C-alpha cells in the first residue's frame, strides 16, 4: 500500500515559521548600527538555518542567498528541516536590508515564506520589473505594459480620485530616474526608499496605514517572490517580469527552469498555492516594530500571515537575553 502524502498543515507550521523569523532577527540585534553588513547577515543566516532544522518538514530553499558554492549562506537547493513532515518550498531573506541594519535605518526585516513543494517560482538572482497595488481594485486595473503615468491615471480612476491623490513607492536608484520624472509629471506623490523593496510592496496592502497606493520599479527577483507571498496573504495584485543585463544572467534563468524570458508573472503565478509568511522587525519600520532591548531583556515583533485563512497576527516575543530560547 502506498503511503499517503503528508498534508501541508499551514496552521500547525505557522508558529514554527514565526520562531524561525524571530531567531534571525534576535541574532542580529547586537549588530544594528555597527556598520558591518556581512556580520549582521551571517548572524541572521546562522540562526535561521538552525531554527529551520528544528521544523518537522522536508524543506528545500528555492529563494535563498545564492548558489551552493556560496555557502555558508542559505543557498538555493539547500535541504532543511528534520525530514519528517510535508515537502515544502522555502523562500527567505535572513536579513532584508543589510545596509539598513548596519546604518540603523528603518524597515530592516527578517523574512521567510513556506509553501507546498513546487509552488513557489524559482526566481534567479536577477532583476525583476515589479508593479503592485493593494486589495479592493478590479482585476488587472493596471499592468506592466502601461507606462508609469498610465498606471497612475488608471488607479486614480478606479479609486475615484485625482492622480495627485496617489502615492507611489519607488526604490531610489539611478535606473529609476526617468520613471520618477514621469510619475512626478502626473503630480502623484513619491515615497522613495533606499532599500528593502519587500517592505515597499507590502506597504500597498495597508494603504490606509502606510499611505502608499502603488509600488513600481525594478529590484531583485527573489525579493519579488517573497513580496508576492505576502500579498497572497494580505490581498492585492502584483506583477513581475524578469530583466537581464547579460548572457550570464540569462544563463542563471535557464538553470532555474525559466524558458520564456519575456513572461509577465502575476502574483498567483509566482505563488501558486497556499503560503505562510513571517517577517520580524530588526529596525523600526511601518510594518513592524524593530528590536527593543533593555538591560536583561530583548523584545521583537513578528507579522505572521496565512493565505488560506487570510489571517494576520502580530506577535510580540519577549525573553531574557541571558537565556534567549526561541
Report yes or no: 155 and 214 within 8 Å, Cβ to Cβ.
yes
What's the pLDDT band for 323 if we cut at 50, 70, 90? low
pLDDT recorded at residue 8: 76
The predicted-structure confidence for 186-231, as pLDDT tens digits, reads as follows 999 999 999 888 999 999 999 888 899 999 999 999 999 999 999 9
**Whether the predicted pLDDT of 73 surpasses 80:** no
pLDDT reported for residue 2: 47
Which is more confident, 155 or 326? 155
**Above 70 in pLDDT, residue 1?**
no
State pLDDT tens for residues 220-256.
999 999 999 999 999 999 999 999 999 998 998 898 8
For residues 77-106, average pLDDT = 94
Dig out the grid coordinates for 156 from the structure: 486614480
Cell representation of residue 181? 520624472
- Please, are residues 281 and 288 in contact by the beta-carbon 8 Å criterion? yes
Mean pLDDT, residues 11-30: 93
86: left (phi over 0), alpha (psi -120 to 50) or beta: beta
pLDDT in tens, 26-67: 999 889 999 999 999 999 999 999 999 999 999 999 998 766
Amino acid at each position: 500500500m502506498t503511503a499517503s502524502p503528508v498534508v501541508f498543515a499551514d496552521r500547525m507550521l505557522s508558529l514554527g515559521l514565526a520562531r524561525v523569523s524571530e531567531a534571525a532577527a534576535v541574532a542580529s540585534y547586537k549588530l544594528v548600527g555597527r556598520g558591518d553588513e556581512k556580520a549582521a547577515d551571517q548572524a541572521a543566516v546562522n540562526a535561521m538555518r538552525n531554527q529551520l532544522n528544528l521544523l518537522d518538514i522536508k524543506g528545500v530553499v528555492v529563494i535563498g542567498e545564492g548558489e551552493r558554492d556560496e555557502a555558508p549562506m542559505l543557498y538555493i537547493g539547500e535541504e532543511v528541516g528534520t525530514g519528517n513532515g510535508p515537502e515544502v518550498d522555502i523562500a527567505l531573506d535572513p536579513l532584508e536590508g543589510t545596509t539598513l541594519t548596519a546604518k540603523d535605518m528603518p524597515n530592516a526585516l527578517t523574512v521567510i515564506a513556506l509553501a507546498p513543494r513546487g509552488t513557489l517560482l524559482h526566481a534567479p538572482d536577477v532583476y525583476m520589473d515589479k508593479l503592485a497595488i493593494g486589495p479592493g481594485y478590479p482585476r488587472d486595473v493596471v499592468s506592466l505594459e502601461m507606462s508609469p503615468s498610465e498606471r497612475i491615471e488608471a488607479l486614480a480612476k478606479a479609486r475615484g480620485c485625482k492622480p495627485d491623490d496617489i502615492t507611489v513607492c519607488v526604490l531610489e536608484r539611478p535606473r529609476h530616474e526617468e520613471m520618477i520624472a514621469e510619475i512626478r509629471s502626473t503630480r502623484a506623490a513619491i515615497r522613495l526608499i533606499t532599500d528593502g523593496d519587500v517592505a515597499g510592496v507590502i506597504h500597498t496592502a495597508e494603504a490606509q496605514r502606510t499611505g502608499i497606493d502603488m509600488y513600481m520599479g525594478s529590484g531583485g527577483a527573489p525579493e519579488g517572490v517573497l513580496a508576492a507571498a505576502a500579498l497572497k496573504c494580505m490581498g492585492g495584485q502584483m506583477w513581475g517580469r524578469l530583466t537581464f543585463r547579460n548572457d550570464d544572467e540569462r544563463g542563471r534563468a535557464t538553470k532555474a527552469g525559466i524558458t520564456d524570458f519575456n513572461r509577465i508573472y502575476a502574483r498567483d503565478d509566482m505563488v501558486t498555492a497556499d503560503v505562510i509568511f513571517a517577517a520580524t522587525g530588526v529596525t523600526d519600520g511601518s510594518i513592524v516594530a524593530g528590536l527593543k532591548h533593555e538591560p536583561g531583556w530583548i523584545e521583537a515583533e513578528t507579522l505572521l500571515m496565512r493565505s488560506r485563512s487570510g489571517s494576520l497576527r502580530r506577535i510580540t516575543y519577549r525573553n531574557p537575553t541571558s537565556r534567549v530560547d526561541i
